[in-house]
Structure 1
Amino acid sequence: MKDLYVRVYLTNMRKYNEGQLIGGWVDVSTDTDWSKELKNFCRIGKDDVFGEEYFISDYETNINDLNISEYTSISELENVAEFIEYVNLNDLQDIANELIEAIGGIDIYRLMRLLENEQYVYIADAGDDEKLGEYIIENDAKYSSLSDDIKHYLDKEAIGSDYCINNGGIYQNGNYIELLG
């Protein structure tokens, strides 16, 4: 699993309006000193006068569907940094990206709550009804007392389909995802 990351290009708005692109790349992390970074990239001239305004003119990330605009605030970036740290420390990168893609437009706080409270079902490599049915038959207590000979005759596709429909799950990128909260 690759660690999640976000980098933003902070741009001095006053200098930009004067026709100059003054700014620099900043890693969004819980260790980032935003006051220092703003002073570094919003300096105006040689006399250490600082511009009051900045904007984000570009960003790089490996988080699916994360939208950062020129208007994203520092406090929002700090929230993203906390999310990234939590996900990376707990090896939840793939699940986080799958949930973001599945839900779309989810805010970071809701996603953190889902991950922290394990309010989701994520079954890797169960990307269709039949594979989900196979997983359920092998892992659900209801089917544990059945012999393998009988399990062979079960309609795995129907079992997976019913489970998906009844629980409101979706198939995405070859996996099954269901929100519990």
Structure 2
Amino acid sequence: MFKVFITNLGKYTEGELVGKWLDLPCNNITEQLKSIDVRPNSKYEEAFITDYENDWNYNVGEYENIYSLNELSKKLEKIQKEGSKEWLLAYCSALGENLQDAIENQEYQNSCFYQNEKTIDVTRELFNEWLNTIKDKELKKVIKWHFDYEEYAEEQLMDRYYDTEYGCIYI
């Protein structure tokens, strides 16, 4: 979900609030702007955003370009349909990356994401997978007995693992 409330700037400065909620992506932004009396080469040719709602933790600026936002929302809709929403949000959360920059760079797609899991659980799972490859039962027992998941997880956190509210991501 991505919605913005667009407002006619000229009428707003005159003391009148003329605006409407716009669901993005939108196929007819120009028509939507005309419906609040915003038209090119007229007395009221500028609009601004007075409110917004979205599920992406994206902060919308009041003078952000509505057409650029529309393009961004198309990309976000595609990402959500692909099931990569939490992955992308975890990536942005881990690195403090701007959502739009992350989409354009697409580096987040090269990361490993463990939804709703923390680094300690991921390292335990990865360690057990590795441990199962060892054939010598005695060696396996010794390794398992002496392995400290929490310490190893802390080391991993310092080396490209990030715990986010969406889960653990390895970059």
Q: TM-score, normalised by structure 2?
A: 0.80
Q: Secondary structure at the match of 1:131?
A: helix
- The 5-angstrom pairing of residues 126-137 of structure 1 reads 126-128=117-119, 130-137=120-127
Matched-pair contact (CA < 8 Å) for 2:10–2:43 = no
1 or 2, which has the higher helix percentage? Answer: 2
Name the CA distance, whole Å, in 2 between partners of 1:162 and 1:55.
Answer: 47
From 152, 160, 167, the counterpart of 2:153: 160
- The answer as to 2:17 corresponding to 1:21 is yes
Structure 2 unaligned regions, length at least 5? none
- The 5-angstrom pairing of residues 86-101 of structure 1 reads 86-101=78-93
- Look up the match of 2:28: 33
Matched-pair contact (CA < 8 Å) for 1:56–1:72 = yes
- The 5-angstrom pairing of residues 1-181 of structure 1 reads 5-29=1-25, 31-42=26-37, 51-64=44-57, 66-112=58-104, 113-115=106-108, 118-128=109-119, 130-139=120-129, 142-146=130-134, 147=137, 149-150=141-142, 152-153=144-145, 154-166=147-159, 168-173=160-165, 175-179=167-171
- Give the letter aligned to residue 19 of structure 1: G
Name the CA distance, whole Å, in 2 between partners of 1:80 and 1:174.
Answer: 21
Question: Deviation per CA, 1:120-168, whole angstroms, max 9, x where unpaired?
Answer: 121234324x3232122134xx4332357456412222332333323x2
CA RMSD, 1 decimal: 2.5
Structure 1 unaligned regions, length at least 5? none
- Give the letter aligned to residue 90 of structure 1: E
- Give the letter aligned to residue 97 of structure 1: L
Matched-pair contact (CA < 8 Å) for 2:89–2:166 = no
Structure 1 vs Structure 2: percent identity of aligned residues? 20
Number of aligned positions between the proteins: 163
Name the CA distance, whole Å, in 2 between partners of 1:174 and 1:32.
Answer: 31
Q: Secondary structure at the match of 2:15?
A: coil
